[in-house]
Structure formats: structure tokens, C-alpha cells
Amino acid sequence: MLAEALRHWNLALLAIRSAQWLTNVCDATIEVVARLVEENQAVHERTVCAMLRFLRNILLWGDPETCKGDSAPEVVELQKQAQVLVAERPLPHGVALQRIIVTLARLMAAAAPNGASKGEVVPSTAEVLRTVLTGPFEYAAGAGLPAALRALPAPLGEALSDPDLQRLLQQLKMEKGDNRRFTRTVVGLVDQFAVCLKKAQFSGCLS
């Protein structure tokens, strides 16, 4: 319900500007969403996807392209308020933007054992990643994504070499205007993680 409410600019502005609870919900969502996937993706899929829509709607309001051509003072204020909430406001567990990037990396890693093509978790994760790489947060997101992927637990943190990480980032940036191609690239990354996990498991059995 909250994710749906934030699709409307007037409700989004009221909540971001005046509701302290929105800050707390945003902070808690970033903390919890990856854990739900790690615990059991199938059981929590709808909840995870709703939480991702909530985060994506906040990111979208921070992007001037969302209301391109509408220069109403309220819309401009909403953009600024959303940008502050994501990139500047000190939430209880830290500023949201870099934590969102880390959470997206964790979601892709957690989804790998379940199959990237199953369900909506990976496509929903791709939607949030595409949003954060498209708007005013692009530079910080582009700088943080390779580090977030590198920080994943072994063996996934070593699944991609530094040149591979840079190529992946460039590919994502080139494809961000095409939702289908972008999602396909993210699915391919999760599939690569799945192969890496299987190899590690096989090696462990042999040893």
C-alpha cells in the first residue's frame, strides 16, 4: 500500500517532507529486504518485490526526468526532498544510497541458488538498479556497484575480475535505456553467480 501511495506526487511529497515514519520505513526496508531473500525467496517473494517498488518510487521522484516538463514548485520540492532522503539524510543505519547498492548486490547473490529466471525477485532488483543508474544518483551508484559486488562473501566476491566488473558496469550503463536488455544482463550475472556456487560446492565435495 505504501509503495502504491508513493506513486502519487502529492502523497509522496507529504510523506517525504513531513512524516518521520517514512525515514524509519526507508531505513528498515534497506536493512530487511536482502535478509528476506537470504532466508527464503519463495515464501517472501511478494513482500520483497513490494519493498523494492517502494525504494524504486523514492528513487524515481529524485530524478527530474520523472516529471519532465513540469516545473511546478511542489514537483521541484519533491525532487529535492527525495534526493536529500536518498543521498544526504542520516538514517539510523546510515545514508541510504550506498546501502541500497549493497543491498541490490546482496539480493542478486541471494537469488542465485534459486535460479534467476524463477519468480520476480531478480527482475524487480534489476528495475531498482536501472533506476539508480539512470537518474541523479548514477555517479555514486556506478562507483559503488563494483565495490558492493567485490564485497560479497566467497566465492561470489571473486566471481568477476576487475576488468570484468568494469565491463559489466559499462554494459549496464549502455543498456539502461532498454529495460528488457538491462534485465537480461542482470539475470545473466545472477546465473553466473549460480554457476560459481555450484563449482564451489562441487570442489568442496571433492576435497
Instruction: Give pTM, 2 decimals.
Output: 0.92
User: With bands split at pLDDT 50, 70 and 90, how would you rate the model's confidence at 206?
Assistant: very low
> Is the backbone of residue 69 left (phi > 0), alpha (psi -120 to 50) or beta?
left
Q: What is the pLDDT of residues 106-139, one digit of tens each?
A: 999 998 888 767 789 999 999 999 999 988 999 9
Q: What is the pLDDT of residues 84-100, one digit of tens each?
A: 999 999 999 999 999 99
Q: Tally Cβ neighbours within 10 Å of residue 102.
A: 19
Average pLDDT on 164-190 reads: 95
Those residues whose C-beta lies under 8 Å from the C-beta of residue 78, and which sit 6 or more positions away, are 9, 12, 13, 16, 61, 67
With 0-12 CB in 10 A as exposed, 13-18 as middle and 19+ as buried, what is 17? middle
The rounded distance, in Å, linking the Cα atoms of 3 and 31 is 17
Helix, strand counts (H, E) of the chain: 9, 0
Average pLDDT on 55-61 reads: 95
Is residue 113 within 8 A of residue 38, CB to CB? The reply is: no
Domain extent at residue 112: 2-206
The rounded distance, in Å, linking the Cα atoms of 87 and 98 is 8
Q: What is the pLDDT of residues 61-79, one digit of tens each?
A: 999 998 887 888 999 999 9
Length of the chain: 207
Instruction: Please report the pLDDT score of residue 205 as a whole number.
Output: 53
Those residues whose C-beta lies under 8 Å from the C-beta of residue 65, and which sit 6 or more positions away, are 134, 135
Query: Please, what is the Cα angle at 178 between 176 and 184, to 5 degrees?
Result: 85
For the chain, how many structural domains are there in total? 1
